[in-house]
Amino acid sequence: MQTEAHLPRHCSSSLQGIHSMGKIALLFAMILLPALSMAMTPEPVQQLAPVSKELKKQLIGTPVYIQIFKEERTLELYGKIGNEYRLLDTYRICNFSGGLGPKRREGDFKSPEGFYSVKMNQLKPDSRFYRAINIGFPNQYDRDQGYSGNYLMIHGDCKSIGCYAMTNAYMDQIFTYVNAALRNGQQEVNIAIYPFRMTESNMQRHRYSTYADFWKQLQPGYAYFAQYHQPPTVNVASGRYVMNSSPVITQPEAASQSFLALSKVK
């Protein structure tokens, strides 16, 4: 068998050319891989800045929407201006229990996840935990799964056995906006409770969780609000959450008409 030294000159040159091309390809790979890696890495979630304190005060009575993120220990309160919901304030959750995942049965001490709605009769201004909002667990989805439990709240203080404890100071603000919105004509306040911010990178990080299938049902609601700045329309079909894929633009509700002039205020 001929070695490289005994090969004809043109073969030896070809081999040298191949080696050179290989080195060049390797060099390009070393240059491009970090860039590709950065391109494939999801950017961190950019938190929206809340409205000014002055505007926040003026928006008492506008329709509101709430998002809760367990892992980030965050409650976000949004107010409606025109056809969009703007961030009014962000509150740190003082305490919740049971870790990530939905509440399934009475006594499991887990705080719920999913989509809930609050009407006036679910407000508890005289709760033993200062003030409280009953989120309405179990909802239709929970009942379809056979889940059980009652009196799951967002409330004051910092103690939790399945609720979201916000401290009295934070709960005072949250309760004030929800109460004012309902009294001013909003039929119900929607509350979306997520295990974490449902970005693609976070979904990948939790892809092997026993709750992964359930969380995939929640993610479209998170993505919808992030894109359209409107709460998703959520229904339950065959024991699963389903929701709209595009916004329904309606005339502003009576409850928010007085706030339309503020829509251009930063």
Q: Which are the catalytic amino acids?
A: 155, 163
DSSP state of 5: G
Query: d(Cα 197, Cα 48) in Å, to the nearest integer?
Result: 13
Query: d(Cα 139, Cα 116) in Å, to the nearest integer?
Result: 7
Can you read off the two tokens belonging to residue 200? 């693609």
Query: d(Cα 225, Cα 242) in Å, to the nearest integer?
Result: 14
Given its phi and psi angles, is residue 9 left (phi above 0), alpha (psi -120 to 50 degrees) or beta? alpha
Q: What angle do CA 148, 150, 154 make, to 5 degrees?
A: 125
Strand partners, 87: 78
Determine the 3-state secondary structure of 32 from DSSP.
helix
| Sequence-separated (6 or more) residues with CB below 8 Å from residue 121 | none
Query: d(Cα 70, Cα 110) in Å, to the nearest integer?
Result: 11
Cβ pair 97, 159 in contact under 8 A: no
**Would the CA dihedral through 72, 155, 183, 122 be positive or negative?**
positive
Q: Count Cβ neighbours within 10 Å for each residue of 114-132 and write b for 16 or more, e otherwise.
A: bbbebeeebbbeebebbbb
